[in-house]
Amino acid sequence: MKKKSFGLLMIAAVLAGTAGCAPKKENQTFTVGICQFTQHEALDAAAQGFKDALTEKLDDRVAFEEQNANGDFAACTTAVGEMISNGVDLILADSTIALQVAALSETEIPILGTAVTDYAVALQLEDFDGTVGENISGTSDQVPADKQAALIQELFPEARKVGLVYCASEANSQYQADAMQHALDDLEYACEAYLFADSNDLTYMADKAAAECDVIYVPTDNTIAASAGLIANVCIPAKVPVIAGEESTCRTCGAATLSVDYYELGYTTGEMAAEILAEGRDISEMPVQYASSFTKKYNEEICEELGITVPDDYVSLKGK
């Protein structure tokens, strides 16, 4: 693995004593652990795609040990520790935090991430060239910031200030916000970040952003995805449109999004897992894979309520 400087002392402290080492099985049946950090549509779809791909490739030769931490860090840590103790053959880390926990817990069992935006940021890798190395690889849900900024410009050319609302404790949210700020600066928008610690102060920061900005952007952020209704309760009555980093959040509080297909992302990850388990492919040599296409989608109900007209090439989220 590339040189790491995790700097995640809290995680390392919690993980102390939970890490174990399980020998890889030599038979032709496999147990795969799936650790999902929280319950929301994007992560659910990624997990389902992963399971479908592996089941199609391996049929009844694969069994799944699934655990959902429901947004609780300690529960995520415990779930990964149990999977390691049970000797699973591979771990799917469904979200950035799940990947960080798994990476600090285990150095031998193959770990595949999915719904992770940037692996270099999540794992604090130096000189990342697309391949993590050692026992980690996976798929990324990264959408180029310039394309998302262009979507804002297309829908709101008269806007002047964009608020970036995201959770301060999520490394990939910070990364996305920084990239988005640079892209919006290039388009001559003013930007301001509105950081919150957890769902308890999300409403306050959303209200502040809605009062001060013309448009709000929220990245692919686990806390936001799980609490998007709080943003909707603030921004829709205030008539301030929200552009979301992914479609499950957009379905609740957003006007539009430039989205990847999380089921397909998970399916690709499952195909990678099948190569590792059934074909013996070396995970240390597998580069992180990225979505090849993006779709402009809009929330028909919210756009109608806010009086937003979208171009014909946007796909409605209505009824999904």
Which region holds residue 124: left if phi is over 0, alpha if psi is between -120 and 50, else beta? left
Residue 114: per-residue pLDDT: 97
pTM across the whole model: 0.79
Query: CB under 8 Å to 156, separation ≥6 — which residues?
Result: 214, 215, 241
Residue 200: per-residue pLDDT: 86
* Residues 114 and 152 placed together within one structural domain of the fold: no
Residue 198: per-residue pLDDT: 85
Torsions phi, psi of 162, nearest 5? -115, 130
* Residues 174 and 282 placed together within one structural domain of the fold: no
Rounded distance, CA 265 to CA 53, Å?
11
Angle ∠(75,77,81) on CA atoms, nearest 5: 115
Rounded distance, CA 207 to CA 214, Å?
12
Structural domain harbouring 70:
9-141+262-287
Residue 25: per-residue pLDDT: 44
* Residues 24 and 83 placed together within one structural domain of the fold: yes
* Residues 169 and 189 placed together within one structural domain of the fold: yes
Q: What is the CATH number of the domain that holds 235?
A: 3.40.50.2300
Extract the residue ranges of the chain whose pLDDT is less than 50.
3-26, 319-320
How many domains does one find in the chain?
Answer: 2
Residue 1: per-residue pLDDT: 53
